[in-house]
């Protein structure tokens, strides 16, 4: 289901069409912003001002969408793959709001307020064809991928805004116990299943053009 | 027709243009020195080119003080940060001249991470007639020296020598966006996205952090520093602008760490103009004190504003640079143009303000007459020594012959960097990799 009113009768048609249009535009803006954020993070050194402005815009859209109440709850099992990807992609901005909780809602979970919001986002309108290509940026994994590691590595993307700077050098290395082993493993392509599942900070891969799926084994899936 | 006459009046002020093509790269900063005799430009390749104004000559009355290349040097080289595994761009973000204290000129140039102090000296004489060395500098055979002579200074071709005197490194974690020399001529400040440092010009291994807006948790970051400047007369005051459109005036006498501002200048948002882009377009890209020190000029995406230091609630003047873009913000967000950082400038008497726009247009606003003009910096539209023709952007409605429609504006041709001579009506406009210098021939007749 989509934003309210798309399928109402003509009597209420106009008003709701406008609302639906605005929602569509808003959603498209959100998608665009998330893509920009992701591209920001993939850059060698992100422009902090730009990242902050885009992130603020995304938060603003999210707030307005929540207030509008245009979100509908959707049970995770019926969500399917596309909404899951959307969930993962919006988690970056959600992370900021739920930092205090100390943990991120698992995909599809529905407990507590914050995860409710997440699953609301999860139930966001399935994209009409043109927009889904943007959503596809996040569609990097096949169904068989390890979503846990992908999710965790995406969590780190927003953190890499900080971890690209020496002030948090400790943060850079805090995420992994043996950075050089992992780097070697990836570079030489010899990755056993264990190390493949360990998420590496995407900062390590900056030189290689920025992998998103840091936890993904480089070999055949 | 009345309107045309008016624009022609403003137009007549600029009777000359000289365009200098800097060889390779995109100009990233332009700055006159305190007398206006020298003009420095920095580019993306880390080079600095200094132009000098030729003294006016009676023989050629038409070349009243033209600017010619004086010196070129490589200020910054690309660096590689091995710890973070990334390159540090050599692009010169800002150049600031130091007030001249002796025969030499000095300037500060900075890239994202490192500030350098350069000393520029002239040599136009050289000693000849050494006793121990011959003309090539080789040691003479002492047995051939039969008499002593006193070396004499003989004139030689002018040689401009540039040497790095100080390197202020490792002071910044984030990208430096501004530097500003204090009126005390001993200290200067450098600002990055989250911090501002105070340096002493003679001390490179230490700087004092005077502003730090980094949150304890980077996830909470919602605002960054975009520009900063020292007050031109009060060495204890400085201002910094933010990405949320606010200005903070700080007094260094109040505390060692100036996180708490003395004054906060912020304009309440106009609810009728609110959109998802409101915050982005309110981000201040440049802030400049007036020469008098009484006002501040800020540039955000669509406007330039004049603020009175005594009034924090709102600017005293707001000028629309290109309001016709307001309905195109979504497209400009998509193509990233909305993040372009335009600079702004005062003229010497603080009566006219100038800023750049798209399509190689730049705008000037006369604060007294409230008139404004749009001019274009391009070789196609202006031959050297020709009068600049005012341009108009038509956003629908009545369209005149030479108007440009909003949709045909070239957004890749942006004028981000402009500078105004400190005393005369001479302006320097950087249009991508071209530098334009426009002069007003009849300066005595200017309002």
Closest Cα to residue A144, out of A35, A220, A38? A220
Task: Find, in chain B, the residue whose alpha carbon is nearest to that of A203.
Answer: B84
Closest Cα to residue B282, out of B244, B322, B330? B244
If one compares B375 and A144, the residue with the highest pLDDT of the two is B375
CA B101 to chain centre: 22
* Maximum average pLDDT range among A24-28, B71-75, B130-134, B144-148: B71-75
* Nearest CB to B279 within list A47, A56, A168: A56
* Nearest CB to A206 within list B86, B218, B336: B86
CA distance B193 to B14: 38
Chain A CB contacts of B212 under 8 Å are: none
- Check residue B18 and give its pLDDT: 45
- Cβ contact, residue pair B174, A48, below 8 Å: yes
* Nearest CB to A99 within list B174, B217, B224: B217
* Nearest CB to A96 within list B219, B243, B279: B219
Shortest Cα–Cα distance, B339 to chain A (Å) = 7
Q: Chain A contact for B1, CB < 8 A? A: no
Name the band, by pLDDT with cuts 50, 70 and 90, for residue B367: very high
Shortest Cα–Cα distance, A33 to chain B (Å) = 9
CA distance B73 to B116: 13
- Summarize pLDDT for B143-152 with one digit per residue, the tens: 888 889 999 9
- Restricting to B residues 142-181, those with a Cβ less than 8 Å away from any Cβ of A are 173-175
If one compares B141 and B208, the residue with the highest pLDDT of the two is B208
CA distance B177 to B189: 11
| Across B385-393, average pLDDT | 83
Q: Chain A contact for B194, CB < 8 A? A: yes
| A180 CB burial (10 A radius; 0-12, 13-18, 19+) | exposed
- Check residue A12 and give its pLDDT: 52
* Nearest CB to A53 within list B86, B218, B283: B283
Task: Classify A90 in phi/psi space as left (phi over 0), alpha (psi -120 to 50) or beta.
Answer: alpha
- Check residue A206 and give its pLDDT: 37
Q: Chain A contact for B284, CB < 8 A? A: no
Interface contacts A/B by beta carbons within 8 Å: 81
- Cβ contact, residue pair B277, A47, below 8 Å: no
Whether the pLDDT of residue B418 is over 90: the answer is yes
What would the two tokens of residue B289 be?
């004190």
Shortest Cα–Cα distance, A22 to chain B (Å) = 12
Shortest Cα–Cα distance, A189 to chain B (Å) = 20
- Check residue B326 and give its pLDDT: 94
Which residues neighbour B121 within 8 Å (Cβ) at sequence distance 6 or greater?
Answer: B103, B104, B105, B160, B161, B162, B163
- Check residue B420 and give its pLDDT: 97
| Across B83-92, average pLDDT | 84
Shortest Cα–Cα distance, A141 to chain B (Å) = 26
Helix (H, G, I), strand (E, B) or coil at B246: coil
Whether the pLDDT of residue B403 is over 90: the answer is no
- Cβ contact, residue pair B276, A50, below 8 Å: no
Shortest Cα–Cα distance, B162 to chain A (Å) = 31
Task: Find, in chain A, the residue whose alpha carbon is nearest to that of B277.
Answer: A57
Q: Chain A contact for B330, CB < 8 A? A: yes
CA B227 to chain centre: 12
- Cβ contact, residue pair B279, A159, below 8 Å: no
* Nearest CB to B276 within list A29, A96, A99: A29
- Cβ contact, residue pair A206, B85, below 8 Å: yes
Whether the pLDDT of residue B20 is over 50: the answer is no
CA B93 to chain centre: 9
* Nearest CB to B219 within list A26, A53, A99: A99
Chain A CB contacts of B78 under 8 Å are: none
Angle at B330 between CA B328 and CA B334, to 5 degrees: 120
- Check residue B442 and give its pLDDT: 52
CA distance A111 to A118: 10
- Restricting to A residues 83-112, those with a Cβ less than 8 Å away from any Cβ of B are 95-96, 99
Helices A48-68 and A147-163, packing angle to 10 deg:
130
* Low-confidence spans in chain A with pLDDT less than 70: 1-15, 44, 70-221
Task: Classify A69 in phi/psi space as left (phi over 0), alpha (psi -120 to 50) or beta.
Answer: left
Helices A81-97 and A147-163, packing angle to 10 deg:
30
| Across B54-58, average pLDDT | 77
**Tokens 């102090």 -> residue:** B117
Q: Chain B contact for A159, CB < 8 A? A: yes
Q: What does each C-alpha distance from A66 to A23, A72, A91, A93, A109 come to in angstroms?
A: 12, 10, 15, 14, 18
Chain B CB contacts of A26 under 8 Å are: 276
Which helix (H) or strand (E) segment holds residue A48: the answer is helix A48-68
CA distance B171 to B93: 16
Chain A CB contacts of B279 under 8 Å are: 53, 56-57, 60
**Buried residues in B30-41 as b, exposed as e (16+ CB within 10 A):** bbbbeebbbbbb
What rounded mean pLDDT belongs to chain B?
A: 89
Q: Percent of chain B beyond pLDDT 70?
A: 90
Sort strands B208-212 and B225-230 into parallel, antiparallel or unpaired. Answer: unpaired
* Nearest CB to B280 within list A53, A95, A164: A53
| Across B100-116, average pLDDT | 96
Helix (H, G, I), strand (E, B) or coil at B346: strand
- Cβ contact, residue pair B283, A49, below 8 Å: yes
What would the two tokens of residue B401 be?
């012959």
- Summarize pLDDT for B222-265 with one digit per residue, the tens: 999 999 999 999 999 999 999 999 999 999 998 888 888 899 99
| Across B363-375, average pLDDT | 96
Dihedral of CA A39/A43/A47/A52: which sign?
Answer: positive
If one compares B167 and B85, the residue with the highest pLDDT of the two is B167
Torsion angle, alpha carbons of A190, A195, A197, A198, to 10 = -130
Q: Chain B contact for A49, CB < 8 A? A: yes
- Check residue B137 and give its pLDDT: 78
Torsion angle, alpha carbons of B143, B149, B153, B156, to 10 = -40
Q: What does each C-alpha distance from B176 to A76, B115, B192, B193, B301 come to in angstroms?
A: 46, 9, 4, 7, 20
Q: Chain A contact for B221, CB < 8 A? A: yes
Shortest Cα–Cα distance, B137 to chain A (Å) = 49
A46 and B193 Cβ atoms separated by less than 8 Å = no
- Check residue B395 and give its pLDDT: 79
Q: Chain A contact for B84, CB < 8 A? A: yes
- Summarize pLDDT for B295-317 with one digit per residue, the tens: 999 999 999 999 999 999 999 99
Name the band, by pLDDT with cuts 50, 70 and 90, for residue B62: low
| Across B177-181, average pLDDT | 98
């Amino acid at each position: 289901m989509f934003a309210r009113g798309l399928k109402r009768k003509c009597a209420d048609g106009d008003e709701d069409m406008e609302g639906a249009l605005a929602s569509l535009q808003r959603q498209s803006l959100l998608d665009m912003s998330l893509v920009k954020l992701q591209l920001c993070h993939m850059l060698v050194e992100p422009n902090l001002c730009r990242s902050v402005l885009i992130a603020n815009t995304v938060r603003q859209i999210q707030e307005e969408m929540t207030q509008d109440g245009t979100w509908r709850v959707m049970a995770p099992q019926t969500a399917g793959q596309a909404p899951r990807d959307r969930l993962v992609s919006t988690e970056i901005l959600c992370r900021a709001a739920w930092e205090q909780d100390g943990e991120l809602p698992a995909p599809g979970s529905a407990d507590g307020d914050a995860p409710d919001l997440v699953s609301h986002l999860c139930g966001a309108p399935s994209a009409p064809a043109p927009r889904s290509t943007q959503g596809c940026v996040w569609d990097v994994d096949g169904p068989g991928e390890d979503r846990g590691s992908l999710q965790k590595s995406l969590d780190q993307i927003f953190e890499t805004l900080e971890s690209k700077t020496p002030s948090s050098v400790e943060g850079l290395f805090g995420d992994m116990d043996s950075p050089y082993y992992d780097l070697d493993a990836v570079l030489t392509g010899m990755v056993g299943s264990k190390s493949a599942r360990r998420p590496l900070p995407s900062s390590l891969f900056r030189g290689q053009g920025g992998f998103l799926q840091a936890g993904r084994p480089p070999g055949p899936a | 027709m009345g309107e045309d006459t008016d624009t022609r009046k403003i137009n007549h002020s600029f009777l000359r243009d000289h365009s200098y093509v800097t060889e390779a790269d995109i100009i990233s900063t332009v700055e006159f020195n305190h007398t206006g005799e020298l003009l420095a430009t920095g580019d993306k390749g880390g080079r600095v080119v200094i132009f000098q104004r030729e003294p006016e000559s009676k023989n050629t009355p038409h070349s009243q003080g033209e600017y010619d290349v004086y010196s070129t040097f490589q200020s910054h080289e690309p660096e590689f940060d091995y710890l973070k595994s990334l390159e540090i761009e050599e692009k010169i973000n800002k150049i600031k001249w130091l007030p001249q204290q002796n025969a030499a000129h000095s300037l500060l140039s900075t890239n994202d991470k490192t500030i350098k102090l350069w000393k520029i000296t002239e040599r136009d004489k050289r000693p000849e007639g050494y006793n121990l060395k011959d003309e090539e500098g080789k040691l003479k055979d002492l047995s051939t020296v039969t008499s002593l002579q006193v070396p004499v200074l003989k004139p030689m071709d002018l040689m401009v020598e540039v040497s790095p005197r100080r390197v202020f490194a490792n002071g910044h974690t984030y990208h430096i966006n501004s530097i500003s020399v204090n009126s005390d001529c001993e200290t200067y400040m450098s600002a990055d996205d989250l911090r501002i440092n105070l340096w002493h010009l003679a001390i490179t291994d230490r700087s004092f952090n005077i502003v730090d807006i980094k949150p304890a948790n980077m996830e909470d970051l919602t605002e960054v520093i975009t520009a900063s400047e020292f007050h031109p007369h009060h060495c204890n005051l400085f201002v910094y602008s933010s990405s949320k459109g606010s200005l903070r005036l700080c007094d260094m006498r109040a505390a060692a760490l100036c996180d708490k501002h003395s004054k906060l200048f912020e304009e309440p948002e106009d609810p009728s103009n609110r959109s998802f882009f409101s915050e982005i377009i309110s981000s201040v890209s440049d802030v400049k004190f007036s020469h008098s020190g009484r006002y501040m000029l800020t540039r955000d995406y669509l406007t330039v504003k004049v603020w009175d230091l005594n009034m924090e609630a709102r600017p005293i003047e707001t000028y629309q640079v290109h309001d016709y873009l307001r309905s195109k913000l979504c497209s400009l967000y998509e193509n990233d143009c909305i993040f372009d950082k335009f600079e702004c400038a005062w003229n010497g008497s603080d009566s006219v303000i100038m800023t750049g726009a798209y399509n190689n247009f730049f705008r000037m606003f006369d604060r007294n007459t409230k008139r404004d003009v749009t001019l274009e910096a391009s070789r196609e539209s202006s031959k050297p020594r020709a009068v600049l023709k005012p341009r108009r952007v038509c956003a629908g409605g009545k369209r005149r012959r030479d108007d440009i429609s909003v949709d045909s504006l070239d957004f890749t041709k942006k004028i981000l960097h402009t500078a105004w001579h400190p005393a005369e009506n001479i302006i320097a406009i950087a249009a991508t990799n071209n530098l334009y210098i426009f002069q007003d021939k009849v300066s005595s007749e200017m309002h």
